[in-house]
A and B are shown apart, each in its own frame.
Chain A
């Protein structure tokens, strides 16, 4: 099953340089064969939200919702069950400061058969 591990944390907090840890984590994930994709996002003040209402585009500055913990990046992994997904999520360096939302990905028939 595919799971998206959404990394939520407080961008204003100084948690030191987590990059070496993230690099090691990503390598471990890759070596296990579970890694499908991953990306770090630019800070949330670079976010733009688009809504279309009655055919009109409304573009606003900022992320969809104001929250202390914001989406900062994600991993997409392929593992057997929620337990493995939770285990990988717990190892993400930011799990110690923010939280990792673990979301199963909807697999359409075409993808499953592939």
Chain B
């Protein structure tokens, strides 16, 4: 983190502040005639968190490009230097530096405010903030794994939970990140990705899962949970001694209502396959549209076909062709070769 993150982000906004101070001074001169000046109470503990929240909302303002929001958030509120952020997102350092400069300039010149948004837009803006934090986590979750990004995302999630204790989705995201992070060691074995159902659950980080449970409890105690609370609830239903598939299938059905998307439908189909058998899952899966370019759709389809003893080689080939990394490709090729045996 810059020694003084606010200053790092705000120096550019100084001119605006000077204008405001000038206006305030005029106002003060006028009001002093009416009301005797009084020292404002200063509470340091309150002042610091508020400033961080203001920074978060400025960094994740929708007027900035998403990649700029991510970079700014990591730089201003995370613990990463420009070079580290550049390496994490596989761009040259000057490119990342330029991205940060451009984003800071827009904050200054377009008048992006440093404050908690008005209630009327708070829900939307908070969603943007949570999305940035989740994207940071996912960029680190890999494969390839970049621990520093996962750690930053969890730290940001904890910070937001502290600063916005009444927002269920904030706790929901915090819980989700903790659950996912707790599985990091079980997720990859011998350099290959391990499906959740095949993971050695003894490798899950128990303390982190317990922290996830605590965060989820706080979320569930609040009204109006959304996508992150549901996703965290799903993660929680994958317990150390097994997964509650009927419950998970039900939660995915609710998630599909809150956030309709073919990817959610895909997960729902997989959960239904586990709860009620591959036939029911495949039935749902074949109805999904728009995922033909998504390797997980084809790998899930291949898996269900394989379990039903139907021809699956074509689906595996399609999944292998689309797999985003060597790790995932290796996993699918192993499954395909098992098929041929």
List residues of A whose CB falls within 8 A of some B CB: 1, 3, 80-83, 85-87, 102, 104, 112
Contacts and interface: CB of A to CB of B under 8 A. Distances in A.
| From A3, A83, A85, A112, residue with most partner B Cβ within 10 Å | A83
A25 B278 CA distance: 57
Interface string B96-112: 00000000000001111
8 contacts: A1-B111, A80-B111, A80-B113, A82-B113, A83-B118, A85-B111, A87-B120, A104-B109
A1 B20 CA distance: 10
A83 B63 CA distance: 10
A19 B169 CA distance: 41
Interface in B104-144: 109-113, 115, 117-118, 120-121
A68 B112 CA distance: 30
Contacts of A112: 19
A83 B19 contact: no
A112 B19 CA distance: 7
B113 A81 contact: yes
Main secondary structure of the interface of B (DSSP, over half): loop
| From A82, A85, A112, residue with most partner B Cβ within 10 Å | A82
Nearest to A104: B110
B110 A82 contact: yes
Given A80-B111, A82-B63, 20 more contacts: A1-B16, A1-B111, A3-B111, A80-B113, A81-B112, A81-B113, A81-B115, A82-B61, A82-B110, A82-B111, A82-B113, A83-B112, A83-B113, A83-B117, A83-B118, A83-B121, A85-B111, A87-B121, A102-B110, A104-B109
Interface residues of B, number: 14
Contacts of A85: 111
B19 A82 contact: no
Contacts of B117: 83
B251 to A, nearest CB: 34
A82 B16 contact: no
A83 B112 CA distance: 7
CB-based closest 8 A-B pairs: A81-B113, A1-B111, A82-B111, A81-B111, A104-B110, A82-B112, A82-B110, A83-B113
Interface of B: 16, 19, 61, 63, 109-113, 115, 117-118, 120-121
A82 B110 CA distance: 6
A104 B111 contact: yes
Contacts of A1: 16, 111
Contacts of B112: 81-83
Contacts of A81: 111-113, 115
Nearest to B121: A83
Nearest to A85: B111
A88 to B, nearest CB: 13
Nearest to A103: B110
Contacts of B61: 82
A107 to B, nearest CB: 8
A32 to B, nearest CB: 14
A83 B16 CA distance: 15
A1 B16 CA distance: 9
Nearest to B16: A1
B332 to A, nearest CB: 43
Contacts of A80: 111, 113
B114 to A, nearest CB: 9
A57 B16 CA distance: 40
Contacts of B113: 80-83
Contacts of B121: 83, 87
Nearest to A2: B111
Nearest to A112: B19
B291 to A, nearest CB: 30
A81 B118 CA distance: 12
A85 B110 CA distance: 10
Nearest to A90: B121
B181 to A, nearest CB: 33
A112 B15 CA distance: 10
Nearest to B62: A86
| From A81, A85, A102, residue with most partner B Cβ within 10 Å | A81
